[in-house]
Structure 1
Amino acid sequence: MNPFQLIDKYYKQGSRARYMLIEHSRLVTQKALEMARRVKHLNPDTEFIRRAAMLHDIGIMFTNAPGIGCFGEADYVCHGHLGAELLKKEGLPGCARVCETHVGVGLSVKDIMSQRIPIPKKDMVPTSLEEQIICFADKFFSKNPATLYERRPFEKIKKEISCYGRKKGEKLEEWARLFGQ
């Protein structure tokens, strides 16, 4: 499956949303493949990583994020869940799982309830090696148009993630030790 076929299906050629999705996802894909090479001994599925990383943010079109060309109704934090629903309908359950688990370092039922996130109350935490690699790689790049191509420093990422609790910061540090920065 070529991820660009799905992107073409849902994102208008020449649109800002398409541009932001593709450029951000390319950077995340490159970073994820770099991390996968570092843990080659764990046998990550690099073809799956290549496909899933390109599709991890496909749900942004459903969100209200005009700065990146998205004019949907949902809160941005819902893009992972909404993208997962779309990819399930497209017959891509593995890629759907990456969508739903890449927000932050994953969302637990407790996170969803305490932050009142309007998505189903279920654990959406990356468990497979590939899910963890893509989730971690995504943290290094923003979809902010002003900084789209800038790699975010690990310490800044850690500070932001740690605001959601000590265990979130510890998970990030664990991934940094395993996959490198």
Structure 2
Amino acid sequence: MHPLQLIEQTYHVHDKARQILVDHCRQVAELATAIARKLHAETEPVDLALVEEAAMLHDIGMLYTQTPKLGCFGTAPYMAHGVLGAELLAARGLHQHAMICERHIGVGLTARDIQAQDLPLPLRDMTPQTVEEQLVAYADLFFSKSHPQKKSPEQVRSSLARFGEEKVAIFDDWHQRFAW
């Protein structure tokens, strides 16, 4: 199934949320896919179709959150959108897409992060493991649903710093590997 078809089926009566989701995910998909093509051509194999499709679907779970400014009137906290989206995608047999969806929050969440911050998430490792997972998480860091302008690397570092230097270090590693 094409990502936009799945979004349309899921968000069919939620015009504001659908438009915000599609606009944001297109930005993330464009950046992630451009980097993936370069990596694939120069240094390492990347599943280009998976990156593009999963980038378009990485935030699909936001509909089920209580985030009125995004047109979402569900019951879950926004932090759970990755897990909720992963459940939706896995139920449709899109298991690799589901892992990308679950693991795209920031630079990823460890079970220790979830426990220490008492996050409303299952207690398990949710850090990007594959290059495809890392690419979508990396590209997502540069875009916000509420501010469509691309963030600078310095802005991304600043926003990650409140979660600890180890999160900034992960971003810096990705930035060295993926920036061009």
TM class by shorter-chain length? Answer: over 0.9
Q: How many residues align?
A: 178
- Using the alignment, how far apart are the partners of 1:78 and 1:122 within structure 2? 13
5+ residue gaps, structure 1 = none
- Using the alignment, how far apart are the partners of 2:38 and 2:159 within structure 1? 25
**Contact 2:107/2:127 (CA < 8 Å) preserved in 1?**
yes
Who is 1:85 aligned against?
A: 87
Deviation at 1:81, TM superposition (A): 0.6
Q: Which deviates the most, 37-46 or 94-103?
A: 37-46
**Contact 2:14/2:71 (CA < 8 Å) preserved in 1?**
no
Q: Describe the superposition over 1:53-92 as per-residue Cα deviations: whole angstroms up to 9, x where unpaired.
A: 0000000001111111011111111100110011111111
- Using the alignment, how far apart are the partners of 2:142 and 2:34 within structure 1? 13
TM-score (norm 2): 0.96
Who is 1:133 aligned against?
A: 135
- Using the alignment, how far apart are the partners of 1:136 and 1:13 within structure 2? 30
Deviation at 1:39, TM superposition (A): 1.4
Detail structure 1 runs of 4+ shifted over 4 Å in the superposition: none
Who is 2:66 aligned against?
A: 64
**Contact 1:3/1:51 (CA < 8 Å) preserved in 2?**
yes
Give the alignment partner of residue 75 of structure 1, picking from 71, 74, 77: 77
TM-score (norm 1): 0.95
The aligned amino acid for 1:139 is L
- Using the alignment, how far apart are the partners of 1:14 and 1:69 within structure 2? 7
Deviation at 1:28, TM superposition (A): 0.3
5+ residue gaps, structure 2 = none
Deviation at 1:38, TM superposition (A): 2.9
- Give the % identical residues: 40
- Using the alignment, how far apart are the partners of 1:96 and 1:14 within structure 2? 22
**Contact 1:39/1:178 (CA < 8 Å) preserved in 2?**
no
